[in-house]
Amino acid sequence: MFRKLVLGTAFLAFAVVVFGAFVRLADAGLGCPDWPGCYGHVAVPQSAEARGIAQLKFPDQPLDNSKAWIEMMHRYLAGTLGLLILAIAVYAWRKRADLQQSPVLPLFLAGLVVLQALLGMWTVTLLLKPAVVSLHLLGGMATLALLCWLALLQYAAPQPVNTGKIRELKFWGWFGLLLLTLQIALGGWVSVNYASLACGGFPLCNGSWVPEMDFASGFHFLRELGMTAEGEPLSRPALTAIHWAHRLGALIVFCYLALFAIAVVRTQGLQKYGALLLIILCVQVVLGIGNVMLSLPLALAVAHNAAAALLLIAMVVLNFKINRIRE
């Protein structure tokens, strides 16, 4: 039962991450101006009377029914995920002797869920402040990665492999996971600042390899959405700097993970995992280029975020498998 609960919760975490990207890309993050309800209701106000009362409470934020429902569906999914993680933590603590596993990871996940709930609230109450939204995104990815690791613990057994490359692969695997995490953070920063189309064209950015950029303003984290730290509107060079940095990071991560995947493919017992990583990596690059060339269609943009989550899962699985191998 515990195995099924953990595995099912990991799948739900993936769904929440992808749907969260849809909320952000559909510009529905403030579909409900309050938290945890929506215009003072548990669900989106439907009747004419309820909608009228909602508009009286929030006169500056007109009710958009579709965006409000998108936001509330994400909250319902995230709330269900949080309850399941709390159930995992309680079960892991109470049955720690029977499970013969440390409850530290499930308890840490429960703490992370509480932090995620707070970040979700601040995302709304602080009006999509970029630093808060980015931390919320990274918290979701961290939750997904840790749930995948916990699920793998329920099924894994040591895999003896007669090879001398495992020690090197362990280091390169963890370093690759770190690089991927930084690139996901960069991608999140692009998304929350609405800089996805700041670079026109590919591979050139606005007709140049190195266009005019303002990194100081673009990567100042304590500021309001669309504004500099001084309260001025964020300039085009600042948005270009954000997008260009993500492109450069994508190139570095692609080269590194591609070489890592090829090394894994050549390792006995890990071939299919390396091949899967390489396939997802190539798909992700195609999706990224497609988003630029096709002016960010919603379905393609959500797919790009989903592929980033799949890349994270693939790297977590690979690191888990490599670190279980006996040297």
Phi and psi torsions of 59, nearest 5°: -65, -25
Residue 100 is predicted with a pLDDT of: 84
Q: Assess contact for 218 and 193: CB atoms under 8 A.
A: yes
The CA-to-CA distance between both ends of the chain, in Å, stands at 33
What is the spatial distance between Cα 245 and Cα 251, in angstroms, rounded to a whole number?
A: 10
User: What token pair was written down for 223?
Assistant: 């500021």
Residue 307 is predicted with a pLDDT of: 98
Phi and psi torsions of 231, nearest 5°: 90, 10
Checking phi first, is residue 61 left (phi over 0); if not, alpha (psi -120 to 50) or beta? beta
What is the spatial distance between Cα 266 and Cα 4, in angstroms, rounded to a whole number?
A: 33
Burial 292-310 (b: 16+ CB within 10 A, else e): beeeeeeebbbbbbbbbbb
Residue 166 is predicted with a pLDDT of: 81
The model carries a pTM of: 0.94
pLDDT in tens for each of the 327 residues of the chain?
A: 899 999 999 999 999 999 999 999 999 999 999 999 999 889 999 998 999 988 898 998 899 999 999 999 999 999 999 999 999 999 999 999 888 889 999 999 999 999 999 999 999 999 899 999 999 999 999 999 999 999 999 987 766 655 567 888 999 999 999 999 999 999 999 999 999 999 999 999 999 999 999 999 999 999 999 999 899 999 999 999 999 999 999 999 999 999 999 999 998 889 999 999 999 999 999 999 999 999 999 999 999 999 999 999 999 999 999 988 876
Residue 160 is predicted with a pLDDT of: 60
Over the Cα atoms of the chain, what is R_g? Answer: 21
What is the spatial distance between Cα 288 and Cα 302, in angstroms, rounded to a whole number?
A: 11
- For 42, 91, 154, 182, 302, the CA distances from 149, given in Å and listed in that order, are 34, 17, 9, 19, 24
- For 6, 19, 161, the CA distances from 153, given in Å and listed in that order, are 10, 26, 19
327 secondary structure, DSSP code: -
Q: Which residues contact 267 (CB under 8 A, 6 or more apart)?
A: 161, 163, 165, 166, 169, 274
What is the spatial distance between Cα 227 and Cα 240, in angstroms, rounded to a whole number?
A: 14
Annotated catalytic residue 71: yes
- For 9, 117, 137, 263, 320, the CA distances from 148, given in Å and listed in that order, are 9, 20, 17, 23, 10
Residue 165 is predicted with a pLDDT of: 72
Residue 327 is predicted with a pLDDT of: 63
